[in-house]
Homo-oligomer: A and B are copies of this chain.
Amino acid sequence: MPQWNQATIVGVGLIGGSIGLAMRARGLAKSIVGVGRNQESLVDAKRVGAIDRSTTDIAGGVKSADLVVVCAPVDKIVGLVQEIDRHCPAGTIVTDAGSTKSEIAAALDQGLTNARFVGGHPLAGGAKAGPKHADACLFVDRTVVLTPTRRTDAAAAEAVEDLWTALGATVVWMKPKEHDEALAFTSHLPHWAAAAVAATTPEKWLPLTSTGWADTTRIAGGDAALWRQIFTSNRGHVLKALDKFEKVLAALREALEAENDAKLEKLLNDGKNRRDAVGN
């Protein structure tokens, strides 16, 4: 028997579409409703089987929902959850997939009437955006961070944990601030460096790039407006990560300039050791 009567996904891009597809594949909801502003994405999401029906009307989309998952750009999430709260039944569990958590937690920790909100962030993605690339296994063996606070309803947090576990993910609970500090290093810094390497490469030399350049800069192809918002909403932690990054770069440069081969090799090995620890 499905755990959820109606799950509503607000924002049916790659992540939202994959959640819908994964829930349907596992029979977790009687019906899945997609809410979006972009008619094309809604049509694609329905065509790939990620949702049962779609609407551009958020009030109508959530009025019978017992679960709402918000998969929107980070600077839209607070407003959307507040709007959902005005129209959803009392006790509806609302969670999100936003890339930063402190701002959202601070804004939504109080003042909601109907929604029981649980902050979340699936550490998953793909090179290609949009529901056309939705994948029912996108979250299998991936990590999902949940960021409940002291005010978060404990039963709601557990229900959201159960949802992600059912989709194949491993759930870890962190404080919103701790999440944002970690992701500044593990997600935001790599994007920053990738964008900078790509922007530094003279156009005339692009034909001489190979797999190394392609791998290193891949995420720089992501939506610049979305990433700008992520950096802005995590400014303090990103700046701290950049401080550390710039120190490492300075040490590398100093070793190269001083022809200190042993030091240079040691620094390169520091990077190699962390890379090898992650694998793949």
Contacts and interface: CB of A to CB of B under 8 A. Distances in A.
A201 to B, nearest CB: 5
A275 B227 CA distance: 15
B210 A182 contact: no
B228 A265 contact: yes
The oligomer's copy count stands at 2
Nearest to A262: B228
A232 B268 CA distance: 13
Contact of A214 (B192, B265, B278): B278
Interface string A217-251: 11111101101100110010011011011101100
A202 B220 CA distance: 22
Contact of A205 (B126, B182, B211, B217): B182
Which 3 A-B residue pairings sit nearest by Cβ, starting from the closest? A195-B271, A198-B271, A190-B216
A206 interface: yes
A187 interface: yes
A185 B216 CA distance: 12
Most B-side CB within 10 Å, residue of A194, A216, A245: A216
Interface string A236-280: 001101101110110011001101010011011111101111101
Contacts of A271: 194-199, 217, 220, 224
Q: Is chain A's interface secondary structure helix, strand, loop, or mixed overall?
A: helix
B232 A256 contact: yes
A165 to B, nearest CB: 17
A177 interface: no
Contact of A196 (B185, B221, B225, B249): B249
Contacts of A211: 124-126
A1 interface: no
Task: From A182, A227, A228, A231, name the one whose CB has the most chain B CB atoms within 10 angstroms.
Answer: A228
Contacts of A193: 193-194, 196-197, 216
